Structure 1
Amino acid sequence: MKRLILLLLALLTAPALPAAAASADPPRPAPGAAVYVIPVRSQIEGALLYVIRRGLAEAKQQNAAAIILIMDTPGGTLNSASDIVRSIQASPVPVYTFIEKDAFSAGAIIALSTRAIYMAPGAVIGDALPILMSPFGGVQDMSEGLEEKSVSAVAALIRAAAQSAGHDPEVAEKMVRRENELKIGDDVISPAGQLLTLTAEEAARPGRNPDRPLLSAGTHSDIHSVLKALGLAKHPIRELEITTVERVARVIASAAPILMILGFLGIYIEIKTPGIGLPGILGAICLGLFFWGHHIAGLAGMEDLLIFAAGVLLLLVEIFLIPGFGITGVLGILLILFSLVGAMTRMIPGGPVLPGWTDLHIPILKMGVAIFGTGAGALLLGRFLPRSALGSRLTLAAATSAAEGYTAAPDTSALVGQTGVALTPLRPAGVIRVGAERLDVVTAGQFLDADASVQIIEAHGNRIVVAPAP
């Protein structure tokens, strides 16, 4: 009897399983739902991640029919690409890619995470091999162990992105591992020793499954043709507008070392010259722009600014209130450096509290460039600034001399040998009267009572030394 009941339950629930699976698919968009277009152009970095997240959130809120990334990029940082891939995978709105011209490196990884890739005539996708950039912008050689570690991590990321979107993971991995060979039957698509880079025509050829393309879902001249292929031609297009603030933030994020160098040099010149002047104001503006740009880019928070302010406060206390240079000044410098590195480091919501080396090495590299540049700039300023027209405005060029009548204190040498009476006890400082003149004096160390007779034995400007009169 128990088996019969279980069998009946199984038969009753079996027809509901396909319906449940079908309900997991995204619902058909409303006729008036907009198609969001997000431009992905130039370098891929933290500020672009902020823009894409904003576009994905806005499309979700507006129940958009689809999101299309219009792409033309040489690549960018792996960290930003990884975060963008995760954001796309978590989006309830289907995301597609239309490659206008290039999708290299990080751009290829992002494109492979979308449901379908469309390419314009002459567009190219591929070559996602990780490279290490030097502090001065060139490509830096990696050791064999570090290269394999980086390649392995990127290969896993690009395979996972391709698998989640239904693309061929072997095609994706060939963009990272040159030692692999990509074949379809007897036809070698990309031989071993070469990284895979596909044109629009090559990407649209049949893949391993003859019913599916190798990578591109089709070649189209513009976004309207792509929408027609997706069955969304009647839906309105809403292009995400990248604001001026976001554009400026992207420039600031990429120019972080320059802003830090200018900020540090401005403060250095201000410390070397009296008062508060233009260099100090410009230095503060540069550091303020640094924090503002990274805040807009979604990297820096208020805690970084507060740590920086605490570091500056400790440094000022060390300079103006505590003699010498000790632990307070060192702690202030460490807090300033910590805040600047923290402002350039990505923190994933819900991720680890402490960032790993992959998140820290680029900010630390930028900080190293800033410190080196500040030191070199300070040496050059110390050598050439005093002789320049700007240096003459910051420093006093005219000198004064005693021969011209300029003195820091009156000449009291004529008082030596004169005698007087102590008006107050000398302990050892006090007041005496010489003739009708009252003088502030000190003894050589003796304590003398009031009304004692004294004689002036030294007089150097305002410093007058007396001794008991003989």
Structure 2
Amino acid sequence: MKRAALLVLLFIFISSPVFAGLSALSAQADVPAQAGRIHYLNADGIVNPVMAEFIVKSIETASKENAEALVIQLDTPGGLDLSMRDIVKAMLSSEVPIIVYVAPAGSRAASAGVFITYAAHIAAMAPGTNIGSAHPVAMGAEKMDETMLKKVENDAVAYIKGIAAKRHRNAQWAEKAVRESANITAEEALKLKVIDLIAQDRQALFAAIDGRKVELVSGEKVLNTANAEVKDVEMGLRYRILNAISNPNVAYILMMIGLIGLYFELSNPGLILPGVVGAICLVLAFYAFQTLSVNYAGLLLIGLAALFFIAEIKVASYGLLTIAGIVALTLGSLMLFESPLPFMRLSLWVVLPTVVTITAIFLGAMYYGLKIRHKKPVSGIEGLIDEIGIANTDIAKEGKVFIDGEYWDAWSNEPIKAGERAKVVEVKGLRLKVSKI
């Protein structure tokens, strides 16, 4: 009997964990699977190398963290072709679902933004947004001929049609957007199957895409986004700074500050601060130039303007070098960035005040330098000319005068009585010629 009881107890002891495990599995099966985190980033502005790096790194991070999806809230006027292709390449090979959401109302996905939207696993737009105008443009000082423009256009058409085929979007409209710069609203885009849905805000977006199937490189995935936690992905300080200086207006101002800083450092060796600030600003400006369409003729003219201003101090040109510097600076500034895209050109409201300010600074520095050059000596015995003293004795052909705490031998062409004020008019050796005041 005891033996039977022991066997029963042993059976209960061994089987308890098994039943507990089965109960836990059953309970887990009854609870719906929890949604992963949604990574959410804002891509607002020109598509440039900084934005491309930020988006590509965000895709890599989302993949490493096994995110449920990555949402790119897009608002762009377009940008550089190479940067756009880097983004599209990363999107097409992504292991995490990517949703491009053109928002908020009033936003657009223009030019390069069309390609990025087409490359998304799910494309969405907010009401009051638009997409289109993807015709390629010639960048730089050299204008493309018709043959080259046609080649670039055909390449862009083939590229976006390939993306459209992979994402099952409207390839016909995509070609029209490239060849004819077609532009449509969110509602029209939905009807033409350019996008997958329209969402009022991001919560509506998450609800709309919940349960949708997307095709990843690794296979099909069903999105679980209705109650997902959202992680906002912000641009770090480095990205924000680099993105800011990639603006042509900011890059231009940095270059001007750099030139002024170096000018003052070379004019007054040892100040250090102007040279350091100038060098840093020039390095940042030339970094920005790598992302912009720079006309090197304009850059050369600005350099010549700086040389003309410096030469004005050394050479008596009666203002001709100053005028040449102002003309070269103005022309160089207007020519510096050449692009058919307004956001890739310098604003006239930045150029004119900057040219006026730079000219005023150089003219002020030159005036100060010339004034110092022609100023009478302030040290040594020559510095006594025009100084005022008191006659210590009667002065005629000889006498004594007290100036700056010292007694000097003096003479005068007119009699000066002791105690009267006298002014130094000439210095001969250690004797002073004075005149009565």
Indicate the SS of the match to 2:179.
Answer: coil
Indicate the SS of the match to 1:204.
Answer: helix
Report 1:419-438 matches (<5 A). none
TM-score where L is the length of structure 2:
0.58
Structure 2 partner of 1:376: 305
Structure 2 partner of 1:132: 138
Report 1:291-302 matches (<5 A). none
Whole-angstrom distance in 2 between the partners of 1:257 and 1:143: 29
Matched, 1:170 2:199: no
Structure 2 partner of 1:388: 364
Whole-angstrom distance in 2 between the partners of 1:199 and 1:143: 33
Structure 2 partner of 1:266: 261
More helix by share: 2
2:111 to 105, 111, 131: 105
Matched, 1:287 2:282: yes
TM-score where L is the length of structure 1:
0.54
Structure 1 partner of 2:57: 54
User: Is the Cα contact below 8 Å between 2:259 and 2:306 reproduced in 1?
Assistant: no
Report 1:192-271 matches (<5 A). 195-205=181-191, 207=192, 214-231=193-210, 232-254=225-247, 255-271=250-266
Shift of 1:396: 3.0
Q: Structure 1 residues 369 and 394, CA, compared in 2 at 3 Å: closer, same or farther? A: same
Give the AA of the match of 1:153. D
Whole-angstrom distance in 1 between the partners of 2:275 and 2:369: 15
User: Is the Cα contact below 8 Å between 1:273 and 1:394 reproduced in 2?
Assistant: no
User: Is the Cα contact below 8 Å between 2:169 and 2:195 reproduced in 1?
Assistant: no
Structure 1 partner of 2:3: none
Any gaps of 5 or more consecutive residues in structure 1?
Answer: 1-28, 179-194, 208-213, 295-340, 346-361, 408-470
Any gaps of 5 or more consecutive residues in structure 2?
Answer: 1-31, 211-224, 313-321, 323-358, 384-437
Whole-angstrom distance in 2 between the partners of 1:44 and 1:60: 22
Shift of 1:256: 3.5
Indicate the SS of the match to 1:175.
Answer: helix
Whole-angstrom distance in 2 between the partners of 1:150 and 1:96: 28
Note the aligned Cα RMSD (angstroms).
3.2
Structure 2 partner of 1:311: none
Count of residues paired in the alignment: 286
User: Is the Cα contact below 8 Å between 2:129 and 2:186 reproduced in 1?
Assistant: yes
User: Is the Cα contact below 8 Å between 2:81 and 2:112 reproduced in 1?
Assistant: yes
Whole-angstrom distance in 2 between the partners of 1:281 and 1:94: 46
Give the AA of the match of 1:84. I
Give the AA of the match of 2:227. K
Shift of 1:44: 1.0
User: Is the Cα contact below 8 Å between 2:251 and 2:284 reproduced in 1?
Assistant: no
Structure 1 partner of 2:38: 35
Per-residue CA deviations over 1:284-334 (Å, capped at 9, x if unaligned) read 22134447x76xxxxxxxxxxxxxxxxxxxxxxxxxxxxxxxxxxxxxxxx
Shift of 1:125: 0.6
User: Is the Cα contact below 8 Å between 2:309 and 2:362 reproduced in 1?
Assistant: no
Give the AA of the match of 1:217. D
Shift of 1:129: 0.6
Whole-angstrom distance in 2 between the partners of 1:104 and 1:145: 25
Structure 2 partner of 1:152: 154
User: Is the Cα contact below 8 Å between 1:263 and 1:284 reproduced in 2?
Assistant: yes
